[in-house]
Amino acid sequence: MKASDLMVAALEAEGVEYVFAVPGEENLDLLESLRTSTITLVLARHEQGAGFMAATYGRLTGKAGVCLATLGPGATNLTTPAAYAALGAFPLVIITGQKPIKTSKQAQFQIVDVVSLFTPLCKASTQIVNGNRIPSLVREGFRLAQEERPGAVLLELPEDIAEEETIEPVIPPHYRRYAVAGDAALDEAAERIIAAERPLLLIGAGANRRRASKALRKFVSDTGFPFFDTQMGKGVVDEDSELYLGTAALSSGDYVHCAIEKADLIVNIGHDVVEKPPFFMEPGGQTVIHINYKAAEVDQVYFPQLEVIGDIAGSVERLGNRLDGKLQCDRSYYTALHHEIASHISETSDDERFPMVPQRVVADVRSVMARDDIVALDNGIYKIWFARNYIAHEPGTILLDNALATMGAGLPSAMMAAMLAPGRRVLAVCGDGGFMMNSQELETAVRLGLNLVVLVLNDAAYGMIRWKQDQLGFPDYGLTFSNPDFVTYAQSYGATGHRVERSADLVAVLNDAFEAGGVHLVDLPVDYSENKKVLIDELGAKVCEL
């Protein structure tokens, strides 16, 4: 068969459902092979949109998403999604085209060394130089992309290789089991936990996998272990629990850090150094037990005294068996702190001011979303408010990026979630700055017939950086802009636009949009004056009652 047909057959063998693409001339053989395959081509309006959708497919399913672009500018536009997948640990396979490598008819026109460019961002970056290599390179690419810690892989398919004839068969995937932690490490972990007076459990990004979530929920329920989570660990264990002590949206100084300071032992499950540190270790401080698929990456603020390495679900199950009925720690302080945090978070959640304050926005969004509905956040100051104030009940229901933390990913991520979960409400929450970076994908969402609501938080500024600028005492300069009429803008793509003009109207507007179906954009003016009042002044003045 033609090599491009073999490439598609290899993708089919891996179970690929979608290829998200902005094809170019160098992809035409592969595009023709896709046309007659079982794989659905999803045409995006920018390579970033295609890459973010594919990475989110990997994030939500555990199977590598696939995106396709041409050489040169098409490939360079995928560097941000590659970094997004690399730092976020989302399995992603990137396929790019290239000019013929056996003969050259256009000199260096559009030629960029794509393989070298992507090497720092990917677990593997390879040019396919012979059609017979396709089965092994595709199989190895998917294995690497999906294997812990997941990430991105690039395969470059030159157009003359794509049209070659080949006789190689595809290599079918095989099931992979991870090794389990040793008994000695688990025994020592159990002994240290039982001996602790106030142990505390931290759930990080690496625990946000399907099997790990199920095991952790049982572990917390069986042991009564007080816990907190990182932004990318939200929802792994139901946060609607008296054992929940908040999300570490800040590295220090928040109410959850009162619990951290009080703890004498922290069990850190799924810690990923790409996230902002949820706490800082100090010499002579708390004992930390690191439970993860891989050994800890040690630095000045993270140097665990004990490591339990292996499959997280298996380690947690075996540790839970060792702790069965033996965790007799003092929970009274944690219980009191849980209620204090809940009271603090509820403040201003019914504030009538307009433009709306972020606490009210989060509370209203939570009220219209069911336990398993999905909120996909772009990046901005509102992400901190959602991390602290939004109670997540299920894994994969609040999609935060606290790794690369790139703007422009919120809308494509929500689109992917809507494709995978058509029976659930999906809400993209974007700042006006981040939304406009990939707003053209509204056309893609409408064309695909998605049911999706996009909430645009409108402050006509790059609000996060403006807040940081104010923190540093600098004058307000260089971070404000004008926006289009978002209602008309949405309508120009065939979506439905709404503008909220009173705080009391947001819930009704969101509910009506979800009930109507289709793609809706809601323009919501926001007031970020609470950023300084709460996140700086109030937290700076707080006192941890010990």
For 379-425, write each residue's pLDDT tens digit: 999 999 999 999 999 999 999 999 999 999 999 999 999 999 999 99
SS3 content of the chain, % helix, strand, coil (to 5): 40, 20, 40
pTM more than 0.85? yes
Instruction: State whether residue 356 is helix, strand or coil.
Output: strand
Q: Please, are residues 210 and 346 in contact by the beta-carbon 8 Å criterion?
A: no
Model confidence at 462, pLDDT cuts 50, 70, 90, reads very high
Q: Identify the band that residue 280 occupies on the pLDDT scale cut at 50, 70 and 90.
A: confident
User: Domain ranges in the chain?
Assistant: 3-163, 183-337, 347-537
Instruction: Report pLDDT digits (tens) over 76-106.
Output: 999 999 999 999 999 999 999 998 988 877 6
Which pLDDT tens digit goes with each residue over 149-179?
A: 999 999 999 999 999 999 999 999 988 788 8
Q: Tens digit of pLDDT for each residue in 2-47?
A: 999 999 999 999 999 999 999 999 999 999 999 999 999 999 999 9
Q: What is the number of alpha carbons within 13 Å of residue 539 lying toward its C-beta?
A: 19
| Strand ranges in 196-352 using DSSP code E only, listed in sequence order | 199-203, 227-229, 244-247, 265-269, 287-292, 306-309
Contact 148, 137 (CB under 8 A): no
pLDDT at 239: 96
Across 536-544, average pLDDT:
86
The CATH class, in words, for 3-163 is alpha beta
Q: What CATH number has the domain spanning 347-537?
A: 3.40.50.970
CATH superfamily of 183-337: TPP-binding domain (3.40.50.1220)
438: confidence class by pLDDT, cuts 50, 70, 90: very high
**In the chain, pLDDT over 90 holds for what percent of residues?**
83
Of 110 and 412, more confident: 412
Token pair recorded at residue 389:
């104030």
Give the separation between CA 238 and CA 112, rounded to whole angstroms.
47
The end-to-end CA distance of the chain, in Å, is: 72
- Which of 88, 347, 82 lies closest to 233, judged by CA? 88
* Intrachain domains 3-163 and 183-337 with the same fold: yes
pLDDT grade for 185, boundaries at 50, 70 and 90: very high
Dist. CA 248–CA 278, nearest whole Å: 5
